[in-house]
A and B are shown apart, each in its own frame.
Chain A
Amino acid sequence: MFCAFLYNVVRVTHPRGQYLPRACILQNRRFIGKTIQPGTIEDRCMANNRRHFIIATVLIVICTVLVYWVLDTVLLKPAAAVVEAGPIDNLFDQHIWLIAFLFALVVVFMCYALIVFRARGDEGDGEYVHGNGLLEILWTVVPCFVVVYFAWISTTMLIDLTRPNPDEFVISAEGRQWSWLFTYPETGAVTPDLVLPVDTPIRMDLTSDDVLHSFWVPEFRVKQDTVPGMVTHVRFNPNVIGEYTLRCAELCGTNHGGMLATVRVVSAEEFKLWQSEQLAQRQE
């Protein structure tokens, strides 16, 4: 449908039969240093090119918005349940805009070229153009800025996400084929389920008893492998009370897919209650 639309636009603005070289922008070497007289072939050529590019630009804008809207609608991220999900999802969103724009840029120009510059049954050759240094430099340098922008904001975000917090509540987790064990250093309780107090910065100290595993609760976004022989850390601050599933994300053998644990984010009072229960159980 989109192609049909494009084709109509092109048809209207590009009447056949009238002599107009179909593309010359890329060979503007021909025009460099020349004063172009109005009404000459060069002038018509430039005007025609301008028209091609104006149409393409409009289409790119429309297409970008369209692609963004589609991706935003069909991509179903899990609910967010930690503070960190805010900036991460925001960066995700910026990436989707970038993807939508670049996709539109390439696809519009490609489809446009395929329709306008298709061989209409003639065996002739296209324009004899070898390239354009200026354009090449442009599309090398401009993306550099985009890259640095994304790398820069990601770097600052990463530093924020991993910054130690003096008030953080520490829980140890051990992955083993194919279950999890959580140790609460404050009480010494050891449990197969993870219970977390809401609105508290948490640090998980992760390790493994056998092979690699990975700590991942999709609603928490962050992920960290557990490695035998070393302790790795992951930090997050749960802000939505509820029940989630911890899913091992690193292939760890037969029952990797079933290596799950329940994660409960509870209110501060409930957490205190739970801890004292655990303590009581241990003392029995």
Chain B
Amino acid sequence: MSLFTLGIARGLLGQVLGMVIGMLLTCAVRILLGWEAWAAEPAWTVGSVCSIIGFLLGVGSLDDWLKWTKGIPTPFHHGPPVDKPAWTRYFSVDYNHKVIGVQYTVWGILLLMVGGTVAMIFRTELARSGLQFLGLDLYNSFIGMHGMIMIFAILLGVGGMANYLVPLMIGAEDMAFPRLNALGFWFNVPGSVLLLLSLFIGGWDAGWTAYPPLSARGPIGYQLFFLGVFAIGLSSIVGSLNLLVTILRMRPPGMSLFRMPIFCWAVFATSLLQLTATQLIGTSFLMVSVQRALGMGFFDPRGILGEVSPMVGGGDPVLFQHLFWFYSHPAVYIFVLPGLGIVSELLPVFSRKPLFGYKWIALSSMAIAILGFIVWGHHMFVSGYNDILRIPFMYATLLVAIPTGVKFFSWLGTMWGGKIHFDTPMLFVLGAISVFLIGGLSGPILSTVPTDFPLHDSYFVVGHFHATMFGGFVFPFFAALYYWFPKVTGRMYNETLGKIHFYIMTPAFWVQTLGQMGVGVMGMRRRIADYDPTLGAGQIEAWHMAVTIAGFAIAFGVMLMLWNFFQNAEVGAAAGDNPWRSRSPEWQIPSPIPEHSFPAPVRVVGEPYDYGLADSGYVTTASPGDD
């Protein structure tokens, strides 16, 4: 078996070829125009576009559609590839949502590790004031790289959970559009390759937000970064469309929207955001890309790039921020809503009690999603936009706290009066609640403009969003990994190691995030490699040291988890079909799940969370003749 039986190897080869072809094309056009053949920026830009297409062609994600254009039939193949080992399906185009879910998750974890490594490097630099071993430009590239890789990782993790779980939870055979589902995953690979590659051709030094004019003048790495984000954005859009259709159209009879497992509501709200907001970050980055490549001064007020092209000028840097945050604020809810859905999903199972206020939780996700569209201006309170606009944005932002509060109180209601079990997934759910609480509570102080003045662009904001993202994504994601690991592999992880992971990571994270907020209040700005050691009455270095140590502890915890999974995926104790005594459909079928998940169409016979109601069930998965 050669390496190229693996789709991903063919894809990467296609990506390289695409890059080369794109570059040659650019040179050819320039020669025809009578210009100097080689110009690095246009060559890399066109090359990157072609490389994405090259990857998709190479991996074979477009094959079926290309065949359709020629009228060739493409019968649907279920199961592992016929003439290759079964494991190869995870490295190639496969249309089974369970395979795609695993692909998303594993790729997401890989990126999480890359992004985490980058963070550990600059965190080490920050442990002391002064510059130790990183250069200023490299530092700037690293913080942006860390931010964007982590965002990719989160989107992939969200995609993994949604693709794997939603069809199972609603008892569907697969996603509505399996081919689109595969395409949605495979966009991510060339996207992340471009992002990582950008570090080697100059990097980009304006942070993950990439505000122009800075991003319009920096190294070529920006172009790869923009196009990488564009590819990931396409993945979000097609993926969310697929999820929306699946949730709306593929539920079995009797499963009304308010009878779905609550995670599906979270995914529904997230997908609405993804489908409608992602275009804006694509557009804003594409506009900077075009400004750089063709000299169109969208965000350039007065011809700063004058030497490059006479056409520039007449643009507005603040406009970029509006476009960017119109996506990137909703994006933060894209990151956390599924995680909060996991919390709501797992709490009833481990509290042995119905979910408290199901409809309120479901609708609070929708309320957050909708409010999320009208608060983007809170990232721009000091950007120089119209002073008066700050007031409505302030009101709208503070309002988001209300549906968020509803979730917290409903979670407490779920635990109150239950019989709570403390298995590792539940511990991570509790960790998520505690951490998201810290994140959420640090929000309002950023939302009232007068207190945002000192805190904006300080390390406080860094602490705020790490707490929201860890509480809203990382902790619930880990809870989900521990919880569904037995379903995916059929094996149990090591409970002791899981608990050790939890007890290391949770306090460490509290120290990290509160420490970040603390140095921000002292007056430390974000995105600086070297800080003033006299801040905070000279205590700041000690705080930074604590944050760095906590960061390493978290990294250690994550390694422990991965080792735990790696160890037990094949040889762990058999988990049984339903180790958590859950009512959800996916636990009523064997672990690992067979190729066709459900032996017969699922029928809904009760409510999803009626723990405590004797002799009740949620769904039956047996064929009607059996009972």
The answer to whether A39 has its CB under 8 Å from any CB of chain B is no
Given pairs A114-B415, A257-B529, 8 additional interface contacts (CB within 8 A) = A77-B522, A110-B433, A113-B420, A129-B354, A130-B357, A135-B409, A139-B405, A218-B523
- Determine the chain A residues whose CB is within 8 A of the CB of B398 once the complex forms: 147, 150-151
The answer to whether B102 has its CB under 8 Å from any CB of chain A is no
A76–B382 alpha-carbon span in the complex (Å): 23
A31–B606 alpha-carbon span in the complex (Å): 26
A113–B351 alpha-carbon span in the complex (Å): 10
How would residues 1 to 43 of chain A score, 1 for a CB under 8 Å from any chain B CB and 0 otherwise?
A: 0000000000000000000001111110000000000000000
Q: Are the CB atoms of B384 and A225 closer together than 8 Å?
A: yes
Q: Are the CB atoms of A119 and B421 closer together than 8 Å?
A: yes
Given contacts A78-B522, A218-B523, contact A26 B418 (CB under 8 A): no
- Determine the chain B residues whose CB is within 8 A of the CB of A228 once the complex forms: 213, 301-302, 304, 317
A27–B414 alpha-carbon span in the complex (Å): 12
A136, A216, A257: the one within 8 Å of B360 (CB):
A136
Q: Are the CB atoms of A151 and B394 closer together than 8 Å?
A: yes
Q: Are the CB atoms of A131 and B356 closer together than 8 Å?
A: yes
Q: Are the CB atoms of B382 and A223 closer together than 8 Å?
A: yes
CB within 8 Å of A: which of B194-223? 205-207, 211-214, 217-218
Q: Which of B58-66, B103-111, B239-247, B610-618 contacts A (4 or more CB under 8 A)?
A: B610-618
The answer to whether A255 has its CB under 8 Å from any CB of chain B is yes
How would residues 451 to 471 of chain B score, 1 for a CB under 8 Å from any chain A CB and 0 otherwise?
A: 101101110000000000000
How would residues 122 to 160 of chain A score, 1 for a CB under 8 Å from any chain B CB and 0 otherwise?
A: 101111111110011001100110010011001101100
A119, A131, A256, A257: the one within 8 Å of B531 (CB):
A257
Given contacts A245-B532, A254-B205, contact A127 B457 (CB under 8 A): no
CB within 8 Å of A: which of B338-368? 351-354, 356-360
A135–B409 alpha-carbon span in the complex (Å): 9
Q: Are the CB atoms of B456 and A211 closer together than 8 Å?
A: no
Given contacts A247-B525, A249-B457, contact A88 B437 (CB under 8 A): no
Q: Are the CB atoms of A223 and B453 closer together than 8 Å?
A: yes
| CB pairs A–B below 8 angstroms (5 shown) | A74-B518, A135-B357, A135-B409, A211-B211, A254-B137
Q: Are the CB atoms of A127 and B418 closer together than 8 Å?
A: yes
Q: Are the CB atoms of A95 and B444 closer together than 8 Å?
A: yes
B358, B360, B382, B531: the one within 8 Å of A224 (CB):
B382
How many chain A residues touch the partner (CB < 8 A)? 83
The answer to whether A258 has its CB under 8 Å from any CB of chain B is yes
B140, B318, B360, B419: the one within 8 Å of A131 (CB):
B360
The answer to whether A280 has its CB under 8 Å from any CB of chain B is no
A140–B402 alpha-carbon span in the complex (Å): 6
The answer to whether B25 has its CB under 8 Å from any CB of chain A is no
The answer to whether A237 has its CB under 8 Å from any CB of chain B is no
Tell me how far the C-beta of B88 lies from the nearest C-beta in chain A, rounded to whole angstroms: 42
CB within 8 Å of B: which of A155-169? 155, 157-158, 161-162
Query: CB within 8 Å of B: which residues of A?
Result: 22-27, 74-78, 87-88, 91-92, 95, 98-99, 102-103, 106-107, 109-110, 113-114, 117-119, 122, 124-132, 135-136, 139-140, 143-144, 147, 150-151, 154-155, 157-158, 161-162, 210-212, 214, 216, 218, 221-225, 227-230, 232, 245, 247-258
A208–B382 alpha-carbon span in the complex (Å): 15
- Determine the chain B residues whose CB is within 8 A of the CB of A87 once the complex forms: 450
Given contacts A126-B351, A127-B612, contact A139 B213 (CB under 8 A): no
- Determine the chain B residues whose CB is within 8 A of the CB of A124 once the complex forms: 352, 419
Q: Are the CB atoms of B384 and A129 closer together than 8 Å?
A: no
The answer to whether B560 has its CB under 8 Å from any CB of chain A is no
Given contacts A151-B394, A210-B304, A212-B317, contact A221 B453 (CB under 8 A): yes
A40–B614 alpha-carbon span in the complex (Å): 24
Tell me how far the C-beta of B220 lies from the nearest C-beta in chain A, rounded to whole angstroms: 16
- Determine the chain A residues whose CB is within 8 A of the CB of B611 once the complex forms: 125-126, 128
Q: Are the CB atoms of A256 and B527 closer together than 8 Å?
A: yes
Q: Are the CB atoms of B352 and A126 closer together than 8 Å?
A: yes
Q: Are the CB atoms of B445 and A95 closer together than 8 Å?
A: yes
Q: Are the CB atoms of B457 and A250 closer together than 8 Å?
A: yes
The chain A residue sitting closest to B454, CB to CB, is A221
The chain A residue sitting closest to B353, CB to CB, is A126
Q: Are the CB atoms of A249 and B214 closer together than 8 Å?
A: no
Q: Are the CB atoms of A103 and B416 closer together than 8 Å?
A: no
Q: Are the CB atoms of B457 and A214 closer together than 8 Å?
A: yes
The chain A residue sitting closest to B399, CB to CB, is A147
The chain B residue sitting closest to A221, CB to CB, is B454
Tell me how far the C-beta of B265 lies from the nearest C-beta in chain A, rounded to whole angstroms: 15
- Determine the chain A residues whose CB is within 8 A of the CB of B532 once the complex forms: 245
CB within 8 Å: A-B pair count: 268
A185–B422 alpha-carbon span in the complex (Å): 68
A185–B44 alpha-carbon span in the complex (Å): 47
Given contacts A76-B537, A225-B384, contact A136 B357 (CB under 8 A): yes
Tell me how far the C-beta of B435 lies from the nearest C-beta in chain A, rounded to whole angstroms: 12
The answer to whether B417 has its CB under 8 Å from any CB of chain A is yes
Q: Are the CB atoms of B136 and A257 closer together than 8 Å?
A: yes
- Determine the chain A residues whose CB is within 8 A of the CB of B218 once the complex forms: 253
- Determine the chain A residues whose CB is within 8 A of the CB of B420 once the complex forms: 113-114, 117-119, 126
The answer to whether B406 has its CB under 8 Å from any CB of chain A is yes
A119, A136, A227: the one within 8 Å of B383 (CB):
A227
- Determine the chain B residues whose CB is within 8 A of the CB of A135 once the complex forms: 357, 409, 413
A125–B421 alpha-carbon span in the complex (Å): 11
Given contacts A75-B518, A113-B416, A230-B301, contact A125 B384 (CB under 8 A): no
Given contacts A95-B445, A114-B420, contact A128 B354 (CB under 8 A): yes
The answer to whether B410 has its CB under 8 Å from any CB of chain A is yes
Q: Are the CB atoms of B357 and A117 closer together than 8 Å?
A: no
- Determine the chain A residues whose CB is within 8 A of the CB of B518 once the complex forms: 74-76
Tell me how far the C-beta of B530 lies from the nearest C-beta in chain A, rounded to whole angstroms: 5
CB within 8 Å of A: which of B495-532? 518, 521-523, 525, 527-532
- Determine the chain A residues whose CB is within 8 A of the CB of B212 once the complex forms: 211
- Determine the chain B residues whose CB is within 8 A of the CB of A22 once the complex forms: 417
The answer to whether B430 has its CB under 8 Å from any CB of chain A is yes
CB within 8 Å of A: which of B566-594? none
The chain B residue sitting closest to A232, CB to CB, is B384
Tell me how far the C-beta of A114 lies from the nearest C-beta in chain B, rounded to whole angstroms: 6
Q: Are the CB atoms of A110 and B430 closer together than 8 Å?
A: yes
A91–B527 alpha-carbon span in the complex (Å): 26
A207–B469 alpha-carbon span in the complex (Å): 34
The chain A residue sitting closest to B216, CB to CB, is A211
Q: Are the CB atoms of B211 and A212 closer together than 8 Å?
A: yes
Q: Are the CB atoms of B390 and A158 closer together than 8 Å?
A: yes
Given contacts A132-B413, A154-B449, contact A125 B419 (CB under 8 A): yes
Q: Are the CB atoms of B416 and A23 closer together than 8 Å?
A: yes
Given contacts A107-B434, A257-B528, contact A131 B454 (CB under 8 A): no
- Determine the chain A residues whose CB is within 8 A of the CB of B293 once the complex forms: none
B406, B412, B522, B529: the one within 8 Å of A113 (CB):
B412
- Determine the chain B residues whose CB is within 8 A of the CB of A140 once the complex forms: 360, 402, 405-406
Q: Are the CB atoms of B207 and A136 closer together than 8 Å?
A: no
Q: Are the CB atoms of B390 and A223 closer together than 8 Å?
A: no
A229–B352 alpha-carbon span in the complex (Å): 61
Q: Are the CB atoms of B612 and A249 closer together than 8 Å?
A: no
The chain B residue sitting closest to A245, CB to CB, is B532
A224–B434 alpha-carbon span in the complex (Å): 34
Q: Are the CB atoms of B416 and A109 closer together than 8 Å?
A: yes
- Determine the chain A residues whose CB is within 8 A of the CB of B445 once the complex forms: 92, 95, 99
A252–B213 alpha-carbon span in the complex (Å): 9
CB within 8 Å of A: which of B21-77? none
The answer to whether B276 has its CB under 8 Å from any CB of chain A is no
Instruction: Name, among A154, A232, A251, A254, the residue most crowded by chain B CB atoms within 10 Å (CB to CB).
Output: A251
B395, B454, B527: the one within 8 Å of A251 (CB):
B527
A136–B611 alpha-carbon span in the complex (Å): 21
